[in-house]
Amino acid sequence: MKNSLRLLAISLAAAAIVAGCAKKDDKAGSNAALETDAQKFSYAIGVDLGKSLQPVKDDVDLAAMKAGLDDAFAGNAPKMDDAAREEIKNTVAKKMQERQIKQREEQAAKNKEEGAKFLEENGKREGVKTTASGLQYEVLTEGKGEHPKASDTVTVHYKGTLINGEEFDSSYSRGQPVSFPLANVIPGWTEGVQLMTPGSKYKFYIPSDLAYGERGAGVKIGPNQVLIFEVELLSIGEPKEDKSSK
């Protein structure tokens, strides 16, 4: 609900800017002149407003919105008082939230079904092993030495993708390995990296319940998504300080 209200607030704030900055002009839409700074600025504000209203575009009547802008700019008394305007904003925000919840539930169900099918087929491939938790992995390169414990700090290079091949994160792309306490990451990582030794490179296929589950993570990882990671274990323990540049 808070996200929906915030989105509406952004939209309405943009509308207020338009109302305060717009000038009456018979030209409209794609025929508007974009010659002066004022025209360009007004157009830019309009584009921002249009984008901010995309999530509620089915609830927006452009003619009524223009009437509201015209009244506000002209200083006319609004046709709806403060209470009525607040009520309809809350009503639409609630509708937005309900749509978002429904869409997320549908996406979660779809991801779960697709993920289960993927793991079932992937587990049959030669070289892929499945642990008791459901984590799947295959050895790309085997290293030597001790296995890390969950209480250890490790340094790794990695690349993460979805089952459709879309990359969502990569230390290789950033050109910098990462170090972290192994107990502070998703369960699939905590379990999987303990199977490795320094110099190893494994590929992990992590069920959603060993990753981010129904909540997902950020924009790129949706609810109930299976994650694939190529992980290279560089070292165990706190990374040594590089004194070469000192």
Known catalytic residue: 169?
yes
Asked if pLDDT for residue 161 goes beyond 90, the answer is yes
The whole-angstrom separation of Cα 36 and Cα 197 is 64
CB 212 within 8 A of CB 149: no
| Predicted confidence (pLDDT) per residue in 227-237, tens digit | 999 999 999 99
Known catalytic residue: 202?
no
The domains of the chain, with CATH numbers, are 2-79 (no CATH), 127-236 (3.10.50.40)
| pLDDT tier for residue 32 given thresholds of 50, 70 and 90 | confident
Known catalytic residue: 73?
no
| pLDDT tier for residue 54 given thresholds of 50, 70 and 90 | confident
Provide the pLDDT for residue 30: 59
Of the candidates 137, 158, 202, 204, the residue annotated as catalytic is: 158
| pLDDT tier for residue 24 given thresholds of 50, 70 and 90 | very low
| pLDDT tier for residue 202 given thresholds of 50, 70 and 90 | very high
Provide the pLDDT for residue 240: 64
DSSP conformational letter for 182: G
Of the candidates 212, 221, 228, 236, the residue annotated as catalytic is: 212
Of the candidates 204, 206, 229, 236, the residue annotated as catalytic is: 229
Q: Which amino acid makes up residue 137? A: Y
Provide the pLDDT for residue 228: 98
The whole-angstrom separation of Cα 107 and Cα 147 is 38
Asked if pLDDT for residue 20 goes beyond 80, the answer is no
- Residue 162, both tokens: 């979805």
Over the chain, what is the mean pLDDT? 87
Provide the pLDDT for residue 46: 87
Residues contacting 224, CB < 8 A, separation 6+: 108, 109, 111, 112, 115, 208, 213, 214, 216
The model's pTM: 0.71
Asked if pLDDT for residue 22 goes beyond 60, the answer is no
Pick from 8-12, 63-67, 159-163: least confident: 8-12
DSSP 3-state helix, strand, coil percentages of the chain (rounded to 5)? 50, 20, 35
Provide the pLDDT for residue 53: 85
Provide the pLDDT for residue 222: 95
Of the candidates 43, 73, 118, 168, the residue annotated as catalytic is: 168
Asked if pLDDT for residue 88 goes beyond 50, the answer is yes
Known catalytic residue: 205?
no
Average pLDDT over residues 49-53: 87
Known catalytic residue: 228?
no
Residues contacting 210, CB < 8 A, separation 6+: 133, 134, 135, 186, 187, 188, 191
Asked if pLDDT for residue 23 goes beyond 70, the answer is no
Average pLDDT over residues 45-65: 87
| pLDDT tier for residue 100 given thresholds of 50, 70 and 90 | confident
Asked if pLDDT for residue 176 goes beyond 50, the answer is yes
Average pLDDT over residues 148-168: 97
- Residue 116, both tokens: 């289960």
